[in-house]
Chain A
Amino acid sequence: MAFVEAYNLHKTYRMGRNNTLHALRGVDISIEAGEMVAIMGPSGCGKSTLMHILGLLQPPDRAANPPPRILISGVDVTNLSDSRRTQMRARTMGFVFQSFNLVPTLTALENVALASEYAGQSRSTAAATAREALEWVNLGDRAHHRPTELSGGEQQRVAIARALANRPALILADEPTGNLDSANTAEVLEVLRKFNREHQQTIVLVTHDREVGATCSRVLLMRDGVIGDEHPRAAA
C-alpha cells in the first residue's frame, strides 16, 4: 500500500478580478513507504503548491470533479479540520524549507525542541529529544547558539534536526539545498539519505538541482501544474 496517495489535486489562486493562476491542474501522485522521491520542474510549475497540499498546509480546490482525495497511510485526510491537520503535521511529518525558517529568538536546541513540544512531549522530554536530534546532524556543540550565530549550512542542519526529531514517517523538504554551497548540500543530502535508509522514513523533496534529484530513488517531473514524466532511479 502506498504511504502517500493523492488524486485529482487542483489549486487555483485568484490573483485579481479577472486573473486566476492554476498552480495545479489535476495531479495524481502515489508514494510508497520508505521512498525518497524528488519533484523537479521549472519555476512556477506547482512543485511547492503540491508540497504544501501533501503537507496539509493548505487544502486542494474542493470543487474539482471528481473531488480531490489525499490519503496518508491509507487514511483519508482530505477533509480534516484545521486542528486535526495541525496535529497530523506535528506527529507524522517533518518540514524542511529552502530558507531554513528557524525562530530567530530561540537557540538551536529550542528550535528543535519546538517540534517535539508541538507533538505533545513535555518540555523536558522535548529538550532531551532535541539534544539527541542535534547529535544526528553533528551540531551537538552548537545547541545553545542562536540562528544568527550559525552558518547557512548549520542552520539548515538545525532545521533538519527539527524535522527529524519526532522520527516522523514523512519528511517534506522544499528546496532544502537551494541556499547551500555544494559541500553543505552534500552533507544535508547525506543526513536525509541516511534516515531514509536506516529508519525507512519516506522523503519527498522539491529541487531544482539535477544532482540532488539523482540521489533520490525516483524523480517526478512537473510542468504547468501536472506531473509529466517519471524517472525511476536506483538509490545512490
Chain B
Amino acid sequence: MGLVIGGFMRLVRSLTRRKLRTTLTIVGISVGIWALVVMSSMANKIGALVEGGSIYYKDKIIVIDATTLGFGFGSTPLPLAIADQIRAVPGVAVTWPEVQMLFDSEAAAAGFGLPDLISGTVAGADQGREQFQVRAARGRLLTAGDEGSSNVVLGSDLARKFGKQPGDAITIRGREFTVAGVLEPTLTAPDTTALLPLEAAQRLLADSAPLAIRQGMVAAQLVSQIIVYPEEGVDIAVLATAIENQVDHVQTLTGKDFDEQIGSSVAIFNAIILGVALISLIVGGLSVINTMAMSVVERTREIGIKRAIGASRGRIMREIVLEAGLIGLIGGTIGIVLGAVVVVIANEAGRDSGIILFLLTPNTAAFALAFSTVLGMVAGIAPAWTAARLDPVEALRYE
C-alpha cells in the first residue's frame, strides 16, 4: 500500500513541476465535469419524473373530454355519468373518476418540471387496481371515509414548500383544508400533488368554472378524467379504441401516448444538455493533450535518460498516460464536488418555491469520475506515443 502511494506521489510530483499549467488544465477538466454533473442531475430529475409517469400510465387508460389537447392539467370537465357508460364497454374492470387541476389557479401549466397539482378521488374506489402506491411519511393517507371532509394529503415537496405538517390548516384555491398526512418522496408527480377527497375537489373544480357556466352546473356531477383499469389480459390499445367508439365525446390516453408525447421531448432535451456537457469535456480533453504534449517536450531529456537506463517504450507511455489520467481524476473530483455544491444549493433555494430541478445520483458521480479519468488517459495517448518513440540518443542531447 505504501508503495502504491509512493508511486502515486511520484506522479503527483511530476505533475506539480509546472504548477500553473497543471492547475489550469485541471480547472478546464473541472469545469467540463461540473457542467456534466449539473446537467446530468437535471436530466436525472426529469428522467425520474418521466419514468414515474411512464410507469403510472402503463397499465391504465385515461378517458378525457374530446376537446382536451393531450396530457394537460386543465382539461374540460366530463360528466361523472360517463363512468357508467365506460364501465359498460367489455374489457373494462374498474373506473376511477378523478378531478385533476392546477394547485394554484394563477400558475401557468407550462414550465420546468411538473406544476403543483390537485388530485381528487374517492380513496379506495380503484378497488386495489392502482399499482403506483404512495405511502404516508407522516400522518395518514385518505380513505373513503374522508369524503365530505376537508382533509388533504400533501406530496413531500408541497408540504416542504408550504411548511405544513399533519394537523395544520392550509388554504387551497380559497377554501380551507386540514392536512391529514404527508407523502413519502416518489421523485415524480405525487411529490407536488395535493390529494383531496373527490367531493372537495369537485367543489374546487366548480369554483374555477366561468360564472355563466357555473350557474347551470352541479358540482358533484363533474370530474376531469376517468381512469380505466382493464380486465386481465385485455389489450390496452384495443380497449382504448373500443371506448372511443362506444362512448360519445371522449378521447383516451394510454401509456404509449405518454411515452410518445412526453418521452420523446424529454429525450431531445437530454440530448441537448448532454451535448453541451460533452462539448465542454472535449475542450477539457484538448487542453490535457496540449499540457501533456508540452510536458513531453520539456521532459525530452528525462525521457532519454530513462530510455537509456532501460525503460521500455511501454513504460514511458504508461507513465505519461497515467499522469494524464491523474489530471483527469483530480479535475473530475473537483468538478463533481463543485457540481454537488451547485445541485444542493439550487435545490435548497428552489425548495421554497417548490422547484426541485436536480437529482445527483451515485451513478452520475461515478460515471463522471470514470469519464474524466478515461478522458485524461485517452488525451494522454498521443503525447505518450510521441514520448515513447523518441530516439534515446537524440533525447539525451536535448537541452
List the interface of chain A (C-beta within 8 A of B): 52, 55, 57-58, 82-83, 86-87, 89-91, 93-95, 97, 101-106, 110, 114-115, 118-119, 123-124, 162-163
Contacts and interface: CB of A to CB of B under 8 A. Distances in A.
23 contacts: A52-B393, A55-B308, A57-B308, A57-B393, A86-B310, A86-B312, A89-B308, A89-B309, A89-B310, A90-B310, A91-B310, A93-B310, A94-B309, A101-B304, A103-B302, A103-B305, A105-B10, A106-B10, A110-B10, A118-B311, A118-B312, A119-B310, A163-B309
Contacts of A95: 308-309
A119 B309 CA distance: 9
Residue among B302, B306, B315, B392 having the largest count of chain A Cβ atoms under 10 Å: B392
Contacts of B307: 57, 86
Interface string B310-323: 11110100000000
B365 to A, nearest CB: 32
Given A105-B17, A110-B10, A123-B7, A58 B396 contact: no
B337 to A, nearest CB: 27
A199 B239 CA distance: 95
A166 to B, nearest CB: 9
A98 to B, nearest CB: 10
Nearest to B391: A58
Given A87-B310, A105-B13, A162-B309, 4 more contacts: A103-B305, A114-B311, A118-B306, A118-B312
A179 B283 CA distance: 46
A90 B3 CA distance: 22
B60 interface: no
A45 B312 CA distance: 30
Chain B interface size, as a band, is: 20 to 34
Contacts of B301: 101
B145 interface: no
B130 to A, nearest CB: 62
Contacts of A97: 305, 396
A57 to B, nearest CB: 5
Nearest to B6: A123
Interface in B323-346: none
Interface in B346-396: 391-393, 396
Residue among B301, B302, B308, B310 having the largest count of chain A Cβ atoms under 10 Å: B310
B308 A114 contact: no
B88 to A, nearest CB: 81
A115 B308 CA distance: 10
Interface string B201-234: 0000000000000000000000000000000000
B309 A114 contact: yes
Contacts, number: 69
Contacts of B311: 86, 90, 114, 118
Contacts of A163: 309
B67 interface: no
Nearest to B4: A123
Contact of A82 (B10, B309, B313, B396): B313
B127 interface: no
Contacts of A86: 307, 310-313
Nearest to B12: A105
Contacts of B315: 118
Contacts of A91: 310
A204 to B, nearest CB: 15
Interface in B7-31: 7, 10, 13-14, 17
A173 to B, nearest CB: 12
B6 A104 contact: no
Contacts of B305: 97, 101-103
Contacts of A119: 310
Interface string B283-308: 00000000000000000011011111
A197 B17 CA distance: 41
B286 to A, nearest CB: 25
Contacts of A106: 10, 13
Nearest to B2: A124
A175 B304 CA distance: 17
A24 to B, nearest CB: 13
Contacts of B309: 89-90, 94-95, 114-115, 118, 162-163
Contacts of B396: 57, 97, 101
A112 B340 CA distance: 44
Residue among B301, B306, B308 having the largest count of chain A Cβ atoms under 10 Å: B308
Nearest to A102: B305
A82 B162 CA distance: 73
Nearest to A166: B310
A58 B395 CA distance: 12
A178 B150 CA distance: 98
Residue among B17, B301, B315, B393 having the largest count of chain A Cβ atoms under 10 Å: B393
Contacts of A105: 10, 13-14, 17
Contacts of B313: 82-83, 86
Contacts of B10: 105-106, 110
Contacts of A52: 393
B309 to A, nearest CB: 5
A118 B318 CA distance: 13
Contacts of A94: 309
A185 to B, nearest CB: 22
A144 to B, nearest CB: 12
A58 B392 contact: yes
A101 B303 CA distance: 10
A110 B306 CA distance: 12
B7 A87 contact: no
Nearest to B397: A48
Contact of B312 (A83, A103, A110): A83
A118 B14 CA distance: 18
